[in-house]
Structure 1
Amino acid sequence: MTTTRLLRSGLLVLALTALLSCGGGGSGSVSGFGIPGSAGGSQNGALTGSSGTTTAGSADGSGGSTTAGSADGSSGGTTVGTTDGSGNGSTSTASNGDGSGVGSGGTGVTSASAVGVGSVDGFGSVIVNGLRYDIDSAVVTLEDAQELAIGMTARVIGAVDAGFTSGVARELSSAAELRGPLTAVDPSTGNLLVMGTTVTTDSTTVWADTLRMSSLGAGATLQIWGLPVSPGVLRATRIAQVAGAAAPIVTGTVQNLDMAARVFNVGGLVVDYRSAAFAGGQNAATLANGAIVRVRATQAPAGGVLTASVVQSWYGHASTAGTVALLEGVISEYTGVGGFKILDTPVDASAAKITGGPGASALGNGVKVIVGGTFDSNGRLLATTLKIRHVPGTGGPASFMLIGTVGYYTSSASFQVRGKPVDASGSDVDFVNGSAADLRNGTKVTVSGSQVMDGVLIATQVIFD
């Protein structure tokens, strides 16, 4: 059992961490795209975990109990400590034990402290920006959710291989970017307006559960994970509906900073930070126009003013010379393949291998990409790889992935992998090393698909391992 002290939302949260199983090795049953293993019980309908306990922590993170878990998930538990009084925060030390083949002994990692910022593509153990991380010994910190899910944004620190295909995570953190009432929706453009922030969507946006744009109405409270594009604009990677009383969150670029009055703008909101605490490496002295921040509050905006309780650096990370990074974002300030920005980070991709689309000719403002490389002394990311994820108007080759064992099988149209519902009944599904008739509980598979509909991954390929 490990005791970790974290500063979250201006509170000193004491969170007891326990081994959290990430695989089909008998961890607790969890619904959705989760990291399973928070409680004892059957998982994937095949293996059983016992003796797992979970106790919710109080608003200050105390009161949670924990049971240490073994590598096979037979005695796993986790402590949930809140960051906002809602019960929506947790910290744990994850343990894999899933036989997935991702482990610290076999990845050939080269860069010990690379940073990855982007959205979760899948599980097996955890896939972020298409890079498959082993999280056996990672400290996992979640805010605003009790389990990690596909489409959530995350920051991962740890070793990666030279080709950005596999890694070993040391830290993984995730938090929502926006939470508040929906003001307007435009189905023709796929845009939403939430608390003064324009939220854009694309074909890779994950709609949680049965939520659809067509079902949204003004006043609904949404919780959104996404990538900052430009001041006041967020590209949604996952959208969920939550209770109307949920504490507000807004993420974006600081503008019109007035350090004397202690106010600044994020999108269409004025943020009053006179009584706010700072977190994530941010403080009143380093706050500056152009910085991307996550602002938390306890009450809804009044008269267009949000009174901040906490101002956090948004997935802050080093950009010093030699730092290796893999970043997902939407291109802005594009002047050519050798000069553009994502996540307010200058990128030179003139020497990068470009994949996932028609090539450099498809690049431009609004294109969502993943770039990997090394920072130079000027804070510019010199990319060696660039993968196109989405081109406005034409879509993109984005793919979600689940690696694990089949469970809760009833038919090819209804089974689970890693606790996530899958539908592989389509006529165009590519079955490799087997057929739909080979699907059954306990079978090891890799499932890929480009859409999540009604909370279900629509498979385009199933590989039998």
Structure 2
Amino acid sequence: MLRDLKLAWAAPLLGIALAGVLHGCGGGGQTASNNTGGVGSGGTGSYTNGPISGLGSIIVNGVRYDVDSATLLGDDKDTGALPSADDLLVGVTVEVEGSAVTATASGPGTATAAKVRYASELIGVLGGLSPASGRPTSFTVLGQRVTVNASTVLPDTALSDGQVVVVHGLPTPGGGVTATRVDAVTAPPFYKLSGEVQSVNRTTRIITFRPGTVQVRYALSLAPSADVVTGSLLRVRVQPSNDLLNLQAVQLLVREAAAPGDREVRLEGRLSGYSVTGTTVRAYLGTTPVDLSAIPGATTLSNQTGLLEVKGRFQNGVLVATELEEEDEARTREAELYGAPSNHNQGSRTFTLRGLTIDYSAATVDANVTFNEPCLKVKGEAVSASRVSATLVKRDSDCR
């Protein structure tokens, strides 16, 4: 995946607001009044979709998945090499199918992953960096607006216009991506565009993407199916080019709605297509239909955007929500890491864990930590692609 792309660093659409209805991430959420058990209550298995927030093996939406025996499916592999756990980095967005979630007394729930799929949203030249210096809040790649929030994992060195980047993230209503991780790369074999279709001309074989400034031309052998229409979400590999009106497709992939059977589910994303019919409240999370009817106050939500974590179960292809929690995009997402420490430097108060430099100068460190034990647990902030500022360091016994 990313490592195959030569990393440059060294080591249907109206959103809904949640003001007055949901609390920010970490402050609780809204639970269905007739909740009979959300994720973690047992069942045939689990499914989650969102950015990786921790390693050892991976933590996604509050569940720690063991990936040792999982099938890994990486969309950006182009050399024929098999995906590996080294591709699963903090901020990379993944889909995970696995066992039922087991609750723990402290820390995330645990499960065993059967399949892990991961794919970037955009690969191409960065432009329109805003602000031009310091931590950016937005930029564009292949005509798509990329929003950067406090949780976005950025490269160690500052981004600049003209760089080629890989963007992982969550689609935003009306087009664009909220970035969860950005990496600078050199000489990728292809660019990638993820976005919402504005129109399809099957005579000229041109797909126009919102906001109408990007056109992808495709060969007859790549003709999209009849159900690709205005509003469809596509991922398209294109030949590297900056000519946004003449991008040449080499692969088209329809982004299908998730419907992984009768499983416990946690998804992260932005709601769109909000509608109320009597007491029935429906929306989409990305391409996934969501029934919000059991969430108190759902009928009063307004048409503004909000990044959410939704928990529930699939029934007949629809995610029936039992819990909603709004993410605080102004607050850094906490990273949680498990692993064997190395390269401890008492002077700089740093060590290495899972290939990351851990700065524990401002952390609470348990008195029995010696930095040469087989397993540590670290909580903190991913300040860049290779560095974590720890808030807690303690011994642990489970370093998968």
TM range (shorter): 0.7 to 0.9
1:196 corresponding residue in structure 2: 143
RMSD in angstroms over aligned alpha carbons?
3.6
Alignment deviations for residues 406-450 of structure 1 (CA, whole Å, 9 cap, x no partner): 222113731122222211111xx334xx23x72412252221123
My pick for the range that moved more, 332-341 or 138-147, is: 332-341
2:328 corresponding residue in structure 1: 390
Q: 1:294 aligns with which of 223, 226, 235?
A: 235
Preserved contact between residue 257 and residue 288 of structure 2 (Cα < 8 Å): no
TM-score by length of 1: 0.65
Q: 1:177 aligns with which of 95, 104, 121?
A: 121
Structure 1 residue 153 and structure 2 residue 89: aligned?
A: no
1:464 corresponding residue in structure 2: 395
Distance 1:374 1:415 in 2: 41
Distance 1:352 1:168 in 2: 29
- Relative to structure 1, the CA distance from residue 142 to residue 307 in structure 2 (aligned partners, 3 Å threshold; closer, same or farther) is same
Please report how far the alpha carbon of residue 227 of structure 1 lies from its aligned counterpart in structure 2 after TM superposition.
Answer: 0.8
Alignment deviations for residues 307-349 of structure 1 (CA, whole Å, 9 cap, x no partner): 11101133x4542774543211123455799544321333334
1:406 corresponding residue in structure 2: 341
3-state DSSP of counterpart to 1:180: strand
Q: 2:171 aligns with which of 210, 228, 238?
A: 228
Please report how far the alpha carbon of residue 451 of structure 1 lies from its aligned counterpart in structure 2 after TM superposition.
Answer: 3.4
Q: 2:369 aligns with which of 426, 433, 438?
A: 438
My pick for the range that moved more, 157-166 or 368-377, is: 157-166
Distance 1:400 1:353 in 2: 30
Please report how far the alpha carbon of residue 373 of structure 1 lies from its aligned counterpart in structure 2 after TM superposition.
Answer: 1.2
Distance 2:383 2:275 in 1: 34
Distance 2:94 2:149 in 1: 19
Structure 1 residue 251 and structure 2 residue 190: aligned?
A: no
- Relative to structure 1, the CA distance from residue 318 to residue 360 in structure 2 (aligned partners, 3 Å threshold; closer, same or farther) is closer
Q: 2:76 aligns with which of 130, 139, 144?
A: 144
Gaps in structure 1 of 5+ consecutive residues: 1-7, 9-33, 35-79, 89-107
2:81 corresponding residue in structure 1: none
Distance 1:324 1:387 in 2: 16
1:261 corresponding residue in structure 2: 204
Find runs of 4+ consecutive structure 1 residues off by over 6 angstroms.
359-364
Preserved contact between residue 312 and residue 320 of structure 2 (Cα < 8 Å): yes
- Relative to structure 1, the CA distance from residue 455 to residue 363 in structure 2 (aligned partners, 3 Å threshold; closer, same or farther) is farther
Distance 1:442 1:114 in 2: 33
Q: 1:167 aligns with which of 86, 111, 120?
A: 111
Higher relative contact order (CA 8 A, sep 6+): 2
Distance 2:174 2:202 in 1: 19
Q: Which amino acid aligns with 2:129?
A: V
1:326 corresponding residue in structure 2: 266
- Relative to structure 1, the CA distance from residue 275 to residue 450 in structure 2 (aligned partners, 3 Å threshold; closer, same or farther) is farther
- Relative to structure 1, the CA distance from residue 113 to residue 252 in structure 2 (aligned partners, 3 Å threshold; closer, same or farther) is farther
Q: 1:274 aligns with which of 214, 219, 222?
A: 219
Q: Which amino acid aligns with 1:459?
A: A
3-state DSSP of counterpart to 1:438: coil
3-state DSSP of counterpart to 1:442: coil
Preserved contact between residue 190 and residue 200 of structure 1 (Cα < 8 Å): yes
Q: Which amino acid aligns with 2:72?
A: V
1:71 corresponding residue in structure 2: none
- Relative to structure 1, the CA distance from residue 244 to residue 137 in structure 2 (aligned partners, 3 Å threshold; closer, same or farther) is closer
TM-score by length of 2: 0.74
Preserved contact between residue 115 and residue 156 of structure 1 (Cα < 8 Å): yes
Preserved contact between residue 422 and residue 458 of structure 1 (Cα < 8 Å): yes
Please report how far the alpha carbon of residue 184 of structure 1 lies from its aligned counterpart in structure 2 after TM superposition.
Answer: 0.9
Preserved contact between residue 372 and residue 384 of structure 1 (Cα < 8 Å): yes
1:421 corresponding residue in structure 2: 357
1:53 corresponding residue in structure 2: none
3-state DSSP of counterpart to 1:160: coil
- Relative to structure 1, the CA distance from residue 203 to residue 196 in structure 2 (aligned partners, 3 Å threshold; closer, same or farther) is same
Q: Percent identity?
A: 27
- Relative to structure 1, the CA distance from residue 275 to residue 183 in structure 2 (aligned partners, 3 Å threshold; closer, same or farther) is farther
Q: Which amino acid aligns with 1:445?
A: L
1:75 corresponding residue in structure 2: none
Q: 1:308 aligns with which of 242, 245, 249?
A: 249
- Relative to structure 1, the CA distance from residue 404 to residue 245 in structure 2 (aligned partners, 3 Å threshold; closer, same or farther) is closer
Q: How many residues align?
A: 344
Preserved contact between residue 230 and residue 253 of structure 1 (Cα < 8 Å): no
Distance 2:355 2:300 in 1: 39
Q: Which amino acid aligns with 1:194?
A: V
- Relative to structure 1, the CA distance from residue 240 to residue 113 in structure 2 (aligned partners, 3 Å threshold; closer, same or farther) is same
Please report how far the alpha carbon of residue 133 of structure 1 lies from its aligned counterpart in structure 2 after TM superposition.
Answer: 0.7
